[in-house]
Chains A and B, each alone.
Chain A
Amino acid sequence: MNARYLLLAIFSLFIVSGTLAYAQLGEQAGQPFFNISVGSSSTFNYSILNSGSAPIGYSVVLPTLNTIPNNATPTVAVTPMNGTLAPDSQQVISIRASIPSSDKPYLKWQGVLSIVETAPAANVTGGAGAIIREGVAKIVTIESAPPKGVPLIYYIIVVLAIVIVAVAATYAMIARKKSRMAAKKRANAAKIKAKLKKRAPARTRKAVRKKPAKGTRARSRKKSTKKRTTSASRKRARR
């Protein structure tokens, strides 16, 4: 009799202790939203939780994103991809999304990322049965943005442009200066020439014998009977 009660007690205890352990999968609230420049990547982290007293094995199912014609689908990588959540513990799940540089901006993709408990043992007897798995999900949204500028290259280009403009301007300035100087020189030379011309004594013109036109004969110049005066004598007369 006592042995029977003891067995009953042990059996009851077994049943009770078997039902005390439980596991409950949970996740941190918040849906991942990525706004990424084409050719870039971004990361979103969140936590999955086990609030129970039994461990939870899990695996990750990557999202299947919609496709957009003439654009490559972004890639989504998740770490870790599987594991075991200890009782009363958390695990950070990291989602990294990348958009190819060939894609256009202002496009949108969506898909569901799942964290699913490892399938329970099948317990289907006779007939048709379904095994129910539980999990937690995130609706992943990815939007493409225009490519980011590469500041360093832009700065280099801008600096080069400034240098080129500065050099060209300098050359232009130098050239203009030279040409001004040349013009000035010519002007001065002309002035001096003019001055000299003014000062120089009247010279007898060199007799240039013109060739007579055809059909005409050369005529010798008649000697003038007029009295000739020199500029010096004229000057003296004026005085």
Chain B
Amino acid sequence: MKAKFFITLGLLLAVLATIATFGIYIETANASSNNSIITANVAVGNVIYLSVAAQGGNTINFGSLFTLDSYYTDLPVTDTDSGGNIGANILVSGTSWALTSNTAVTFSVGNTLWNPTSLTSYAGNALTTSFVNTNDIIVAPTLSNPTTSNNIYFGLYIPAGTAPGNYVQTISFEDYNASQNIYNSITASGNAITAMADVQGTCYIALSTNTISFGSIVSNADVPTNVLVTDTDNGGNVASSLLVEGNDWTQTSNSLTTFGVGNTKWDATSQGSYAGTALTNSLFTTGISIAAPNTLDTTTSNNIYFGLYIPGGTPAGTYSQDITIENSC
């Protein structure tokens, strides 16, 4: 009986000891693993995303322009960082403008100007073939504002003698953080836009003088057809024809005293005598042409000469005549 008691007591004590031992072990294990929380670590790097967009998607169009004509620096391109985490400056560069029908015909990249703000004139900084820091900043995106952007504005000037036609230019962008020395690493939808312009045919006129004097002449005398007027086209891009007309000579002190317009003669070359074609009071196509200016020779010109005969019996006095010279292209 006693033996049974002590055996039972012993077994009970052994069970209790086992339970106690395991309980302490589990407690100890739990204590060393910090109550089931795992620490994870990750290193997030600095990144800049870049995408550019313009009014026409990835194109800007300056439309129809003439030589010596300009487009205000107000055509925007938006540079966007969608999902990056540091700020950046916008860098731009461009290519020369090239005629789409003949890419060998070009005009300089620097005729395109950029500016961080829109302007009401053609002004700003000339685009170059190398990237230039515009100092136009795209602020760092944040968790609450994951997409940030900024605009760059462009203008254009068509130089003298630029051949007519459709031209294109590629303008490229980069975003750069100088303090981190990081450029945009991933381009979301391209980092370039295409600029377009349509250069129209143009001709100009500038006469070397707005008065000519035949001096003092007696009646029944003449002046040789060698009085020069030069007709110049400064900066156009197509050839033009010269037309001329006049009106009757009128005495300045008495408008009723006149002699005919045809007493003035014109010629394409200087004459040693009073010769050539009589002026009329309707425009006449002289056959004199002014060649098309081009980028190598932006100014072209041609001459027209005048002579005069005073009919016999013309009263003495000062006379004047209006001569109109027009270019047509």
Docked Cα-Cα span, A85 to B203, in Å, equals: 16
> DSSP class of B's interface residues: helix, strand, loop or mixed?
strand
Asked whether any CB of chain A lies closer than 8 Å to the CB of B236, the reply is yes
Cβ contact within 8 Å between B204 and A128: no
Cβ of A219 to closest chain B Cβ, rounded Å? 123
Cβ contact within 8 Å between B213 and A134: no
Contacts A120-B210, A128-B217, A133-B210 hold; do A26 and B322 have CB atoms under 8 A apart? no
Asked whether any CB of chain B lies closer than 8 Å to the CB of A137, the reply is yes
Cβ of B122 to closest chain A Cβ, rounded Å? 9
Residues of B within 8 A of A135 (CB): 205, 324-327
Cβ contact within 8 Å between A28 and B326: no
Residues of A within 8 A of B249 (CB): 128
Cβ contact within 8 Å between A130 and B306: yes
Contacts A24-B234, A27-B329, A131-B210 hold; do A49 and B204 have CB atoms under 8 A apart? yes
Asked whether any CB of chain B lies closer than 8 Å to the CB of A181, the reply is no
**B305-329 vs A, Cβ < 8 Å mask (1 yes, 0 no):** 0101010000000111111111111
Cβ contact within 8 Å between B326 and A127: no
Docked Cα-Cα span, A49 to B69, in Å, equals: 9
Cβ contact within 8 Å between A114 and B164: no
Cβ of A27 to closest chain B Cβ, rounded Å? 6
Residues of A within 8 A of B229 (CB): 132
Cβ of B293 to closest chain A Cβ, rounded Å? 11
Contacts A128-B318, A130-B212, A133-B210 hold; do A29 and B202 have CB atoms under 8 A apart? yes
Cβ contact within 8 Å between A47 and B201: no
Asked whether any CB of chain A lies closer than 8 Å to the CB of B58, the reply is no
Cβ contact within 8 Å between A126 and B318: yes
Q: Quick one: closest B residue to A63, CB to CB?
A: B283
Docked Cα-Cα span, A114 to B203, in Å, equals: 14
Cβ contact within 8 Å between A26 and B66: yes
Q: Quick one: closest A residue to B213, CB to CB?
A: A129
Which residues of B, 263-319, contact A by the 8 Å Cβ criterion? 264, 282-283, 285, 306, 308, 310, 318-319
Docked Cα-Cα span, A123 to B310, in Å, equals: 20
Cβ contact within 8 Å between A128 and B308: yes
Which residues of B, 206-246, contact A by the 8 Å Cβ criterion? 206-207, 209-217, 229, 234-236, 238, 243, 246
> DSSP class of A's interface residues: helix, strand, loop or mixed?
strand
Docked Cα-Cα span, A228 to B201, in Å, equals: 126
Asked whether any CB of chain A lies closer than 8 Å to the CB of B182, the reply is no
Cβ of B86 to closest chain A Cβ, rounded Å? 43
| Contact for A116 among B200, B285, B324, CB less than 8 A | B324
Which residues of A, 18-51, contact B by the 8 Å Cβ criterion? 24-31, 47, 49, 51
Contacts A51-B234, A127-B217 hold; do A30 and B324 have CB atoms under 8 A apart? no
Docked Cα-Cα span, A30 to B329, in Å, equals: 6
Cβ contact within 8 Å between B328 and A119: no
Residues of B within 8 A of A96 (CB): none
Docked Cα-Cα span, A47 to B203, in Å, equals: 11
Residues of B within 8 A of A132 (CB): 207, 209-212, 229, 323-325
Docked Cα-Cα span, A26 to B50, in Å, equals: 44
Cβ contact within 8 Å between A127 and B205: no
Docked Cα-Cα span, A175 to B317, in Å, equals: 100
Q: Quick one: closest A residue to B206, CB to CB?
A: A24
**B192-203 vs A, Cβ < 8 Å mask (1 yes, 0 no):** 000000001111
Most chain B beta carbons < 10 A, residue from A25, A26, A122, A127: A26
Cβ contact within 8 Å between A47 and B66: yes
Cβ of A115 to closest chain B Cβ, rounded Å? 8
Q: Quick one: closest A residue to B234, CB to CB?
A: A24
Docked Cα-Cα span, A25 to B329, in Å, equals: 13
Residues of B within 8 A of A131 (CB): 210-211, 320-323
Q: Quick one: closest A residue to B284, CB to CB?
A: A112
Asked whether any CB of chain B lies closer than 8 Å to the CB of A13, the reply is no
Cβ contact within 8 Å between B70 and A124: no
Cβ contact within 8 Å between B205 and A24: yes
Cβ contact within 8 Å between A134 and B326: yes
Q: Residues of A at under 8 Å CB distance from B?
A: 24-31, 47, 49, 51, 64, 88, 90, 112, 114, 116, 119-120, 122-139
| 4 more A-B residue pairs beyond the given contacts A27-B329, A49-B202, with a C-beta to C-beta distance below 8 A | A128-B217, A129-B214, A131-B323, A139-B328
Q: Residues of B at under 8 Å CB distance from A?
A: 66-70, 164, 200-207, 209-217, 229, 234-236, 238, 243, 246, 249, 252, 264, 282-283, 285, 306, 308, 310, 318-329
Contacts A/B (CB < 8 Å), 16 sampled: A26-B202, A28-B66, A47-B200, A49-B202, A49-B204, A114-B324, A120-B211, A124-B320, A127-B215, A128-B214, A129-B318, A130-B213, A130-B264, A131-B320, A131-B322, A132-B324
